[in-house]
Structure 1
């Protein structure tokens, strides 16, 4: 079985909805085992309640868990044009995996939710790939074979760099069916690539 981890951070539920669609897409590929996990919350309960954060009972992952998967699909909201601090903190704790080349040659992808079309959507997708490349992972985007990303009918999220959604300035906008279809497409895309790579050992390549 090819093992895929869909790992995300979500404050208001938009990224969680995309994560569920990513997992659904990955599970559609025969021979794929998918787990859905979130990174630990760092915002105090009082502030989360005041800000109206959505409750989330998805199990929490630890950085050490990443080694057990053939592929990683990572989702984050956009905060000031970058990934959320909770996700960055999680990745910052994976230095031991980096030191052992434990993730080299595995496939990874990213997806994001952003408040507006010009609020850093593509910047977040691209910059979120950077630490994954430091781990030696191979980046899978959302290729144009997903035709939904080229539509001009309405507001949609995502880009060739990954799936996504536009939440609206007040967070009231739910992911569209096109957004969710893009996430399912990306999940299946990653699962198929991971299956092809699972038998190869790229961690021992000579410099």
Structure 2
């Protein structure tokens, strides 16, 4: 049976969704079964309209209990002041029952990001998200510097050792670059290989 990975995102201006689609391509290239979800929105329609947010992608909203289904989960997280936004936190804060029962223990976890600026906190967002993974005894899989574009200083490129990323500008006006897309696809493929290797090995025991 192939391994399963869920991609769980919050995307205000669409940057995280774009990265998620590339991550999904990489996961599928590694032979992993994937599903793409978004978290519930907490902002009102009036606020979203004033922020000029585009319509949400046509993907299902994740339910807390659905987090127990896959072998691994990659979270797509736009940064707010160097940490996760309230929408992602609301989902993770609702996992108390899963923590109490150990339902997420041993599952793999990964992260990717979007920030307004190069110094917007992609790494601090990863580090403050890892605390949830630790409490759930999930296995965090960083990306490392597995893609050569992360060494490229000739242009603005999001991402770090903790996962793929993009720089969106405060108003969301900068599009995800081709290099950022390549990094995201690479992360998906690498993450998928890790999960698939573990699941296939476990299935033979």
Q: TM-score, normalised to structure 2's length?
A: 0.93
Question: 2:48 aligns to what?
Answer: 48
**Alpha carbons of structure 1 residues 135 and 200: separation in structure 2 relative to 1, 3 Å:** farther
Question: 1:94 aligns to what?
Answer: 95
Structure 1 unaligned blocks of 5 or more: 202-207
2:79 counterpart SS class: strand
Superposed structure 1 runs of 4+ greater than 3 Å apart: none
In the alignment, the residues of structure 1 paired with residue 28 and residue 130 of structure 2 have an alpha-carbon distance, to the nearest angstrom, of 23
Question: 2:195 aligns to what?
Answer: 194
Matches within 5 A, 1:117-132: 117-132=118-133
In the alignment, the residues of structure 1 paired with residue 184 and residue 29 of structure 2 have an alpha-carbon distance, to the nearest angstrom, of 12
Q: Tell me by how many angstroms 1:187 deviates.
A: 0.8
RMSD of aligned Cα (Å)? 1.3
Structure 2 unaligned blocks of 5 or more: none
Question: 1:109 aligns to what?
Answer: 110
In the alignment, the residues of structure 2 paired with residue 84 and residue 105 of structure 1 have an alpha-carbon distance, to the nearest angstrom, of 25
Matches within 5 A, 1:154-193: 154-193=155-194
Aligned residue pairs total 200
1:63-121 per-residue CA deviation (whole Å, 9 max, x = no partner) reads 11011000100011111111010000001111111111111111110011000011212
Q: Tell me by how many angstroms 1:176 deviates.
A: 0.9
In the alignment, the residues of structure 1 paired with residue 71 and residue 47 of structure 2 have an alpha-carbon distance, to the nearest angstrom, of 36
1:79 counterpart SS class: coil
Q: Tell me by how many angstroms 1:18 deviates.
A: 0.8
Question: 2:141 aligns to what?
Answer: 140
In the alignment, the residues of structure 2 paired with residue 46 and residue 168 of structure 1 have an alpha-carbon distance, to the nearest angstrom, of 22
